[in-house]
A and B are shown apart, each in its own frame.
Chain A
Amino acid sequence: MGMRTIRYFLGRFGGAAATLFAIVTISFFLMRLAPGGPFDEEQNLPADAMANLKARYGFDQPLWNQYGRYLAALARGDFGPSYRYRDVTVTELIGQGLPVSATLGAIAIALALCVGVALGTAAALRQDSLADHGAMVLAVAGIAIPSFVLLPFLDLIFGIHLHWLPVAGWERGSAPHLLLPVLVLCLPPLATIARLTRAGMLDVMRSPYVRTAFAKGLPLSTVILRHAMRPALVPVAGYLVPAVAAIMTGSLVVESIAGLPGIGRYLVQGALNRDYTLVLGMVIVYSTFLIGMGLLVDLLYAWLDPRIRFRP
């Protein structure tokens, strides 16, 4: 890893930090400039009680002052109080919800990657067979059918009619409760990863260096795992960040339907209740995570293709 690579990553890091900063700033100002305040619903408060309420949340200060205090609080990890749940801070809600969502998301992306890559590779090796075409048609269905249609449908079959799986609830992450939500969450990225892997694998299997590997008498498994897999997965690496974004988006619906107490559900509730700080806090958390993933994927690219390490 040369000086140039380090400088490249510093540059990327700086860009990411700048983006995040811009998001926070824009969101903050949008929030303050939006028509109506968060307290418009409180119509039956007398004027001085309203003034006290506003003072408590800092609305009586000039805008720049509020901005500075918000940034400072953010740096401490304090996202401010929830406007709806008066005795809970957004930070606490995030602390409660994040483990749930993170578990769900991590299992989903892991499944999508493992099963997707395996399926795509198998399809590529049996190109043009019935299995190949069948798998690809299933992939289209996986991408097209929305999670908020599929999950209730599966719930209907497996939860209500067959009584095999619970329909809602978290129960501290017990497997049956997680099964359907994770399945529905991982399907669209799984389908895309399978398609990308198949295309990438087909391409790589035709390359001269794979031919050399076969000419060396290496068994098929070695050729695929050691010589073909890494270059074939480069397009999948490029899809990782959109995949995580898709899972995040899907979690909003899945957590709401399945009653899982994750940050997705809090975000939706917050949106319906017009709880500004809560929504803002969630958006910042999601954005931070996604931008961080982007940096990780860059590192991944460097590992997948050594040529990139030397010429970023």
Chain B
Amino acid sequence: MSTDLAAPALAIDELSVEYLRGGTATTPVREVSLTVAAGECLGVVGESGSGKSQIFLAAMDLLAANAHASGSVRFFGRELLAAPRSVLDAVRGSKLAMVFQDPLSALTPHLKIGVQMAELLVCHRATSWREADAAALAMLRKVGIADPWRRLGQYPHELSGGMRQRVLIGMSLLCEPDLLIADEPTTALDVTVQAQVLELLRAMRRDSCLGIVLISHDFGLVAGLADRIVVLYAGRVVESAPAAQLFACPRHPYTAALMQCSPALTGFAQERMPTLAGQPPNPADRFDGCAFAPRCSNATPRCRVERPLLETVGAAAQLACHNPMST
């Protein structure tokens, strides 16, 4: 299948992910559809358990052995779900890259940083190790790591958390991918480093029209970077809209509540941090009606019985709610 460059970078259609363990089935992702246009930055927001990581792990075929994904995931028109290894290996790492949450465990402990970076180029571009090392060195400088030559010869445990995350980001960008999926890239880092990493992502985008999917549970993180935002709850998309529009006027009660909980958005002026009452539902549960109804301030009797479908609202937004917030 050839690559269709006019197509969106990532087109996910009715993706569901199911895990079977023993006799029980959990469904962390339920019929999710979303699109990432080429060069766009999409923010994907949701609580833990909302399935936000699972969607993209499924896209990259990185799910555990007992997981089953159905639906369609097309990368520039090329189907990735259940694609043969050769197709996946050609795309992963070189055109479609992913950065994971925990930088400490994401790097191989017994290999030097230089090797882990250079092997990408040696594998995908068939460069020599020496050339690849030079490219890695340049990339380390670009992501702002001081004394990069020494760092190349060190092991992951010799670097700080922030440095490791920079290495991971740099590593993912070595082959100049078209789309970078960043899964909670700053969660394991402290606040100052968080800001630096975000700035780095911003700079990378400016320099190379890289598309980014930024996954987070924190709206504040996503605010500065995303063009569009998708909100997930209990494995489903509940709202999606251009960022500015969403922040100005969130329509889904969950989106509104979640925004209230983000200190970066509401400012630190409030005395008590509002929290969202209740717990997100267990991915093994099945329910009639809207999954958010038990916690929703706008819930109507209809909400508990009939699941709201995702519908287009206005030019560029989608919403799945029977009783949205008023504008």
How many residues on A have C-beta within 8 angstroms of the other chain's C-beta atoms? Answer: 25
Partner of A306, one of B94, B97, B102, B155: B155
- A217 & B88 in contact (Cβ 8 Å cutoff): yes
Contact B97 A215 (CB under 8 A): yes
Closest to B181 in A: A215
Q: How far is the CB of A299 from chain B (nearest CB, A)?
A: 15
Q: Are B155 and A208 in contact (CB under 8 A)?
A: no
Among candidates B102, B105, B120, residue contacting A216 with C-beta atoms closer than 8 Å: B120
Contact at A216–B92, with CB atoms within 8 Å? yes
Nearest chain-B residue to A230 (Cβ)?
Answer: B110
Please give me the residue from chain B that is nearest to A220 by CB atom: B85
CB distance from A231 to the nearest CB of B (A): 7
Which of chain B's residues have a CB closer than 8 A to the CB of A230?
A: 110
Q: Which residues of A are found within 8 Å of B115, using beta-carbon distances?
A: 226
A98-155 with Cβ < 8 A to chain B: 127
Which A residues from 277 to 312 make CB contacts under 8 A with B?
304-307
Q: How far is the CB of B166 from chain A (nearest CB, A)?
A: 15
Q: Does B90 make an interface contact (CB < 8 A)?
A: yes
Q: Does A207 contact B (CB under 8 A)?
A: yes
Other-chain contact of B124, A127, A209, A217 (Cβ < 8 Å): A217
Instruction: Kindly specify which of B57-65, B137-145, B220-228, B271-279 makes contact with the partner chain.
Output: B57-65
Chain A residue numbers with a CB within 8 Å of B64 are 206
Instruction: Please tell me if A7 contacts chain B, counting CB pairs below 8 Å.
Output: no
| Bound CA–CA A217/B90 (angstroms) | 7
Q: Is A306 a contact of B107 with CB atoms below 8 Å? A: no
The B87-117 residues at the A interface (CB cut-off 8 A) are 88-94, 97-98, 100, 102, 105-111, 115
Known: A208-B102, A220-B85, A307-B157. Contact between A215 and B108, CB under 8 A?
Answer: no
State the Cβ distance, A25 to closest chain B Cβ, in Å.
Answer: 41
Given A209-B105, A211-B100, A307-B157, answer yes or no on A217-B110 (Cβ-Cβ < 8 Å): no
A207: chain B residues within 8 A (beta carbon): 105
Contacts of A209 in B (CB 8 A): 105-109
Decide yes or no whether B171 CB sits under 8 A from chain A.
yes
What chain A residues lie within 8 Å of B65 (beta carbons)?
Answer: 127
Contact with B along A209-228 (1 / 0, CB 8 A): 11111111111101000110
Find A218's partner among B93, B102, B107 (CB 8 Å cutoff). B93
Specify the main secondary structure of chain B where it touches its partner: mixed
Bound-complex Cα distance A118 to B110 (A): 21
CB-based contact A227/B111 at 8 Å? yes
Asked if residues A222 and B110 are in contact (CB atoms below 8 Å), the reply is no
Q: How far is the CB of A147 from chain B (nearest CB, A)?
A: 36
Which residue in chain B gives the minimum CB-CB distance to A227? B108
User: Across the interface, do B119 and A219 meet the contact criterion of CB distance under 8 Å?
Assistant: no
* B93 and A306 within 8 A (CB): no
Give the nearest-CB partner of B63 in chain A. A211
**Nearest CB to that of B92 among chain A residues?**
A217
Contact A217 B111 (CB under 8 A): no
B198 within 8 A of A: no
Contacts of B93 in A (CB 8 A): 215-218
Answer whether residue B123 sits at the interface, using C-beta atoms and an 8 A cutoff: yes
In the complex, what distance in Å separates the CA atom of A231 from the CA atom of B109? 9
Instruction: State A307–B61 Cα separation when bound (angstroms).
Output: 31
Residues in B neighbouring A305, C-beta threshold 8 A: 109-110
Which of A206, A217, A226, A307 is the one whose CB lies under 8 Å from B109?
A307
Smallest Cβ distance from B95 to chain A, in angstroms?
A: 9
* A208-B106, A209-B109, A220-B85 as given contacts; A215 in contact with B119, CB under 8 Å: no
The answer for the CA separation of A208 and B103 in the assembled complex, in Å, is 9
**The 5 nearest A-B residue pairs measured at CB:** A217-B93, A217-B92, A216-B93, A208-B105, A209-B108
**Given A215-B93, A217-B90, 7 extra CB contacts under 8 A:** A211-B100, A216-B93, A217-B89, A219-B85, A226-B119, A231-B110, A304-B110
Q: Which residues of B contact A (CB under 8 A)?
A: 60-62, 64-65, 85, 88-94, 97-98, 100, 102, 105-111, 115, 119-120, 123-124, 155, 157, 168, 171
Q: List 22 A-B contacts (CB under 8 A).
A: A207-B105, A208-B102, A209-B106, A209-B109, A210-B108, A211-B62, A211-B100, A211-B106, A212-B108, A212-B168, A214-B61, A215-B98, A216-B97, A217-B94, A217-B123, A219-B85, A220-B85, A222-B123, A226-B115, A227-B108, A227-B111, A231-B110
